Chains A and B, each alone.
Chain A
Amino acid sequence: MVAVLLIVVPLGLAFAMPLFNFVSKHIAGYIPIAAMLCNLILSILLLPSVMENPQIVVLGGLSPPLGIHLVAGPLGVGLSGLISLVGLAVSIYAWGYIKQGAQDKYHALYLLLLSGATGAVLTGDLFNLFVFYEILCISSYALVAYLGDRNGVESAVKYLIQGSVGSGLILVGIAILYGMFGTLNMAQIAIHIKDVDSPAIFLALVFLVTGFGVEAAVFPLNAWLPDAHSTAPSSISAILSGIAIKVGIYAVARVLFTIFGVAAVFQYVLLLGLVTLLVGEICAFSQDNIKRMLAYSSVGQVGLIVFAICIATPDGVGAGLFQLVSHALSKAVLFLGVGYLVACSGSMSLSSLNGIGKRMPVVCFACVVAAFSLVGLPPFAGFAGKFLIIRAALAGKGIFFTVLIGIVLLATVVEGAYFFRMVQTLYFKDAKKQIEFKKTPASASIPILALVVLIVALGVYPDVLLPYLKSAAADLLNKAGYIKEVLG
């Protein structure tokens, strides 16, 4: 029951937004904050009880293959907790940041995006996953274009076209699977998939992975990402980089592990993830526009997370999930901070941010902490993530993986190069022209600082997350267990 509330509350509030707007023009900014706070509390309350036994909610009283299941397992509830946490921080930020345009529509779309994300991670039905995924995508197409400027509209159009092609491919995959099994429930498909050995299965796999991969931003499907994340308003960039991509990764993982589970495919996606990592980091190194640099960095980190998850051992999947959490927090801090830095200096070019550390100390400090965390320096959260990934990759896997880890670390060196360059630009270069000091409003510093505290806390006590990671990894990897939990 509680799991349904997690989806219904933001969805309902999003649709009720025009009513709220009718009451008062200023109330629109508070609704996402309230919704996400509610979601966060519910997720935290729900999490301990679903660690062992996932909660199954049968919607409408009809059980599959006629009805839809919601599977609130440790992975689902954990991810929904992360979504609501980052969503809360960004909505507090957006309350002060979004001042122009149709604000109530912004907040309504924002809530729709988050409810789509939450629904996607909590569902157990393939078509339901597709529907929530589409809610997420369409809201993000609209939000990227929110500011209505040249670049925003252009990147929204390109994102839309690519995203729709991806969705079409997913639908083809679903059609093939339904045609073969007659059910859309993921657990039921998983049971029967071993019995059928036809090339159509592989075709369905390719279409599904490629389709979800467009949103998950693996190379070369991620051409929309640098444009979209750099031209969207900063709060939306934060949510896209922090949450939307992660839902894509979750969908790819869910499809790969739970429905298919073929070993050779893991190796292929692993290599794809490695290529994504390399290309992302190398492209980020040569950027001058800071938001584009951060967007390419997201591409690289997604590659790393996919690489870790496709190691397909409990350690590996747990490591990938930890890195997912740490990247969501750090990238959110970076985009939120850069939003105000860019507003202060007036341009997105890296050289215009020379010496801005003097005028906006809090925001720059937060950006430095997040940058160090992404590179993987102790004592921040990113170090624990990278450590876990390398440990999982080297654990008894032989020389092939040692070479792969060498490539991963090479990409980390490149990442370090451009982030350290950014740190030097923020603090140690001399400002070219005088920048007026605009005080950062509290609505921006509070969420940024809260996320920074979380990054440092996770870095010093990563053991806090370990039991959740273990059960979440088991949720993904243990196909038989999942089927048993869902179907009884």
Chain B
Amino acid sequence: MTLGLLLIVAFGGALLTYLLGKISSKLRDVWAVLVSLAVLFGTATFYGKSVHDALSYKFLGLPLVLRTNELSWFFAIAICGVGSLSIIFSLSYIKNRERTDFYYFLMLLINASMLGIVFAGDLLSFYVFWEIMSWSTFLLISYNRGNALPAGMKYIVMSVIGSAAYLVAALSLYAKYSTLTFSAISTQMTTASPGFTLFILILGFMVFGIKNAVVPFHTWLPDAHSEAPSPFSAVLSGILIKMGTYGLILFLYVLVGFNQFSQLAWKAISLQTVLCWLGAITIVIPTFIALMQDDAKRLLAWHSIGQIGYIILGIAFGTSLGVAGGAFHVLNHATFKALLFLCVGAVEYRTGGVRDLNSLGGLMRKMPITFIGALIGAFGIIGMPLTNGFVSKWLIYKTLILNQNPFLAFAALLGTWGTLLSFYKFLHNIFLGQLPDKYKDLKKAPTSMQIPILLYAGIIVLFGVLPGIPLKIIGGFVTSFGLTPLKINLWGIVSETGILNTINVSMAVVSAFFVAWVVFAFAGRSVPTTAQDTYAAGAQIPQDKYQYSVEFYNPLYRMVGSYLRDVIDEFYGWLARVTQMTGELVRRVYTGDVGDYVLYIVFIVAASIGLKIWWPT
């Protein structure tokens, strides 16, 4: 199986799904699942192999290269995993909607193009797959109509701006070195001037920062992720924005190399510091904005931005622990964010599209599997021990503290605190608390939705207890970047000041839970009572208005709410309005009066002659 064949299977499978859907929808569902699983197994066969295929097909005389190494394989497995689980989830989610062929086609197409991105070995094929991913994402975000349309437009305009920056960077590299393949460029960039390297890195940060939704490029994400269909939001938050991370790692570590990157500085401010601080701001502010959201998916979307801050912080920090932590967090965030979006999707599906946190509640008894999934996902994202989030966050904290960066470490911890608060709100408002009357007869989530939820939950716990499995691969590519190698065991990692042994940690946590359970089981009886059992001086207590979940954290809103406006979003909106007004003004040139038009012709003749006479040659 060659890389080219794998990609052909992926793209061809997508196209065939659309055509099969015209024949029968059952056939198409089965085929979609088969294609995504086939691609997953195909990718798995490349484990540990290092392939470098130059294709015989040349585009405009430029060779195209497909390659895989540990870095690509790591991302590819994540892509295939998240993609196939989302397709399984969609089997019930999309069942009664219209244009489902289009939906499956686009899901598989996006999957295939993301695979193409990580398998690309030169800047041109990277760009081709990147653009295919961008426009198909735009089409799928707009799938929901209504509010999704401006969200899609915001996304695609920002993405095109990023692509423009990428083209300038790639073709400047081509102009200088006459090659676009990664291996050739990385050897040649060691001799590049710092000015040129800075130029390339800034352009690279623009394009990948926009896709990755780092502050200040994050404004498209909350709208796009909340308005997209839920299984696709899982793919979007889970893995699509991580394509930006992949690109950033590519530019920073593969093309430019860590030595040159760490030396780009102006007086005391180095590019590395700037990126780390952008990462830190991205952790803190969006996490607290997420606290105040009332829409479940918007809350999760703002959290995606926050967690991306951890990844960027880890990667930009540059130590082997940091890069390993950042890269591991890529995988972890994919698992728990996808899990959380799928849980919200299940709730949405059963309640008929309700995402408003103020009106849900108490669904724990009605949808237990979904609740367990959301609980484990929440533990993961907070970073509770026993989950994989704990390991990656530990790595990042450790490296920040070891390298004496107290402010960055404090920012990271602040993010965790905010995450804890908002996920308590998330869990409480959907699953705990009182059950509104209209949801009394809610059914459980269907099986095809429960399977992915349980699988994700299992992976979170598995990688939490045995993190060595993914860490081995990550350790491999961290070493290939020239950083000091990590000593990794199946259950832990060895660092300078101590060993992270997750078996011990898990034992500790499990025993703590056990103790707590024992205490509560043998403690005094508690009397069950309803929420309405309270003093109201004899007045009637309205049952449906007595919901504790409404305006959770109200005091906090009042304190910090006015500070947490998204000023960057407002700035971009202002820019767009200015462009539109410029357009209105420029239009007035064409007045509709033919005398004016003839005047323009005469004017150009006069101006040309005038320029020639008075221009100093």
In the complex the two chains form, is B172's CB within 8 Å of A424's CB? no
Among the stretches B156-164, B241-249, B288-296, the one at the interface with A is: B156-164
Q: Do A286 and B157 have beta carbons less than 8 Å apart? A: no
Identify B167's interface contact among A165, A213, A379, A387, CB under 8 A. Answer: A387
Residues B168 and A203 in contact, CB atoms below 8 Å apart: no
Q: Are B597 and A223 in contact (CB under 8 A)?
A: yes
Complex Cα gap A268–B590 (Å): 23
Q: Is the CB of B171 within 8 A of A221?
A: no
- Whether A405 sits at the interface, judged by CB under 8 Å, is yes
Contacts of A462 in B (CB 8 A): 59-60
**A388 smallest CB distance to B (angstroms):** 7
**Distance in Å: Cβ of B106 to nearest Cβ of chain A:** 12
Cβ of B23: which chain A residues have Cβ within 8 Å of it?
Answer: none
A24 to chain B, nearest CB (A): 41
If A279-B589, A378-B131 are given as contacts, then 6 extra A-B residue pairs at C-beta distance below 8 Å, sorted by A number, are A210-B601, A220-B604, A268-B611, A384-B59, A414-B579, A424-B142
- Residues from chain B with Cβ under 8 Å of A421 in the complex: 153
Q: Across the interface, name the chain A residue whose C-beta is closest to B165.
A: A409
A384 to B611, CA, bound (A): 36
Q: A279-B589, A429-B145 are in contact. Are A413 and B157 (CB under 8 A)?
A: yes
Which residues of chain B come closer than 8 Å to A279, judged between CB atoms?
Answer: 586, 589
Q: Contacts A214-B601, A220-B604, A285-B579; is A413 near B161 (CB within 8 Å)?
A: yes
Is the pair B601, A169 in contact by a Cβ cutoff of 8 Å?
yes
Q: Verify if A233 is at the interface (C-beta below 8 Å from B).
A: no
* In the complex, residue of chain B having the shortest beta-carbon distance to the beta carbon of A368: B139
- Are A372 and B605 touching (Cβ within 8 A)? no
- Residues on A with beta carbons closer than 8 Å to the beta carbon of B596: 223
Q: Given A158-B594, A413-B164, A424-B142, are A379 and B128 neighbors across the interface (CB < 8 Å)?
A: yes
* Structural contact, B172 and A394, CB atoms closer than 8 A: yes
Contacts A202-B612, A220-B603, A424-B142; is A463 near B60 (CB within 8 Å)?
yes
Cβ-defined contact, B145 with A463, below 8 A: no
Cα distance A101–B112 when bound, in Å? 51
Report chain B residues within 8 Å CB of A412: 160, 164
Bound CA span A430–B586, Å: 31
Given contacts A279-B586, A283-B590, contact A378 B128 (CB under 8 A): yes
Q: Mark B131-167, 1 if CB is under 8 A from A, else 0.
A: 1101100110011010011001100110011001101
Which interface residue of B590, B603, B617 has the most chain A CB atoms within 10 A? B590
Q: Answer whether residue B598 sits at the interface, using C-beta atoms and an 8 A cutoff.
A: yes
CA distance A429 to B611 in the complex (A): 50
Chain B residues 353-369 with CB under 8 Å of chain A are: none
Query: Which residue of A is nearest B576, CB measured?
Result: A417
Question: Known: A387-B60, A463-B58. Contact between A286 and B583, CB under 8 A?
Answer: yes
- How far apart are A173's CB and chain B's nearest CB, in angstroms? 10
CA distance A395 to B171 in the complex (A): 8
Whether A157 pairs with B594 at a CB distance below 8 angstroms is: yes
> Secondary structure of the B side of the interface?
helix
Contact status of A395 and B175, CB under 8 A, knowing A286-B580, A413-B164: yes
Judged by a CB distance under 8 angstroms, whether A390 is at the interface is yes
- Evaluate contact between A394 and B171: CB separation under 8 angstroms: yes
Q: Are A409 and B167 in contact (CB under 8 A)?
A: yes
Most buried by A among B138, B156, B597: B597
Which residues of chain B are within 8 angstroms of A286 by Cβ–Cβ distance?
Answer: 580, 583-584, 587
Contact of A223 with B605 at beta-carbon distance under 8 Å, contacts A409-B168, A424-B142 already known: no
Q: Which residues of B contact A157 (CB under 8 A)?
A: 594
A283, B587: Cβ atoms under 8 Å? yes
Any B CB within 8 A of the CB of A300: no
Q: Is the CB of A264 within 8 A of B617?
A: yes
By Cβ-Cβ distance, the 8 closest A-B pairs, closest first, are A409-B164, A286-B583, A223-B597, A220-B600, A378-B128, A416-B160, A206-B608, A282-B583
Known: A207-B605, A285-B583, A396-B175. A221 touches B600 (CB 8 A): yes
What is the size, in residues, of chain B's interface with A at 8 Å between Cβ atoms? 55
Residue of A nearest to B159 (CB): A416
Question: Which of B142, B157, B604 neighbours the largest number of chain A CB atoms within 10 Å of its CB?
Answer: B604
For the complex, give the distance between the alpha carbons of A414 and B575 in Å. 12
User: What are 25 A-B contacts defined by CB distance under 8 Å?
Assistant: A158-B594, A161-B598, A162-B594, A162-B601, A165-B598, A207-B605, A210-B608, A220-B604, A279-B589, A285-B580, A286-B580, A372-B135, A379-B128, A379-B132, A390-B168, A402-B168, A402-B172, A409-B165, A417-B153, A420-B138, A424-B142, A428-B148, A429-B145, A462-B59, A466-B61
A191 vs B597: C-alpha distance in the bound complex, in angstroms? 36
**Chain A 385-415 interface residues, beta-carbon cutoff 8 Å to B:** 386-388, 390-391, 394-397, 402, 405-406, 409-410, 412-414
Chain B, residues 555-588, CB within 8 Å of chain A (1/0): the string is 0000000000000000000000001101110110
Does B469 interact with chain A (Cβ within 8 Å)?
no
In the complex, how many angstroms separate the beta carbon of A408 from the nearest chain B beta carbon? Answer: 9
Q: Which residue of B lies closest to A164 (CB)?
A: B598
A388 and chain B: residue at smallest CB distance: B60
Contact with A405, one of B135, B168, B582, B594 (Cβ below 8 angstroms): B168
* CB-CB nearest in chain B for A269: B608
Tell whether B609 is near chain A: CB-to-CB under 8 Å.
Answer: yes
Q: Which A residues touch B609, using CB under 8 A? A: 202-203, 206
Q: Does B517 contact A (CB under 8 A)?
A: no
Within the complex, the shortest CB–CB distance from B371 to chain A, in Å, comes to 34
In chain B, positions 145-203 with a C-beta closer than 8 Å to chain A are 145, 148-149, 152-153, 156-157, 160-161, 164-165, 167-168, 171-172, 174-175
Contacts of B142 in A (CB 8 A): 424, 427-428
Question: With a CB–CB cut-off of 8 A, which chain B residues contact A449?
Answer: none
Closest to B605 in A: A210
Shortest beta-carbon distance, B342 to chain A, in Å?
24
The interface residues of chain B lying within 8 Å CB-to-CB of A166 are 601
Tell me the complex Cα distance, A268–B152, Å: 39
Check: B127 CB closer than 8 A to any chain A CB: yes
Report yes or no: B128 in contact with A221, Cβ–Cβ below 8 A. Answer: no
Q: Quick check: is A171 within 8 A (CB to CB) of the other chain?
A: no
Is B584's CB under 8 angstroms from A378's CB?
A: no
Q: What residues on A are CB-neighbors of B157 within 8 Å?
A: 413, 416-417, 420
**A130 CB–B CB distance under 8 Å:** no
Contact B153 A391 (CB under 8 A): no
B590 touches A210 (CB 8 A): no
Q: Smallest distance from the beta carbon of B617 to chain A beta carbons, Å?
A: 7
Q: What's the nearest-Cβ distance from chain A to residue B557, in Å? A: 34
The smallest beta-carbon distance between A296 and chain B, in angstroms, is 9
Tell me, in angstroms, the Cα distance from A417 to B152 when the chains sit together.
11
B132 and A378 contacting across the interface, CB-CB below 8 Å: yes
Roughly how many angstroms separate A161 CA and B582 CA in the complex, as a whole number? 29
Q: Does A266 contact B (CB under 8 A)?
A: no
Neighbouring A residues of B132 by C-beta, 8 Å: 377-379
Min Cβ gap A364→B in Å is 12
Q: Let me know if A224 is at the binding interface, CB within 8 A.
A: yes
Residues of A within 8 A of B617 (CB): 264
Closest Cβ of chain A: how far from B414's Cβ, in Å?
36
Cβ of A221 and Cβ of B583 under 8 Å apart?
no
* A169 B128 Cβ-Cβ under 8 A: no
Across the interface, do B171 and A391 meet the contact criterion of CB distance under 8 Å?
yes
* A226 CB within 8 Å of chain B: yes
Interface string of B39-83 (1 = CB under 8 A from A): 000000000000000000011110000000000000000000000
Residues 94-141 of B contacting A (Cβ, < 8 Å) = 124, 127-128, 131-132, 134-135, 138-139
In the complex, chain A residues whose CB is within 8 Å of the CB of B160: 375, 412-413, 416
In the bound complex, what is the Cα–Cα distance between A268 and B608 (angstroms)?
A: 9
Among the listed A169, A383, A390, which residue makes an inter-chain contact with B171, where contact means beta carbons less than 8 Å apart? A390
- Smallest CB–CB gap between B221 and chain A, Å? 18
Q: In the docked arrangement, what's the CA distance between A420 and B139, Å? A: 9
Residues on B with beta carbons closer than 8 Å to the beta carbon of A417: 153, 157
Q: How far is the CB of A354 from chain B (nearest CB, A)?
A: 11
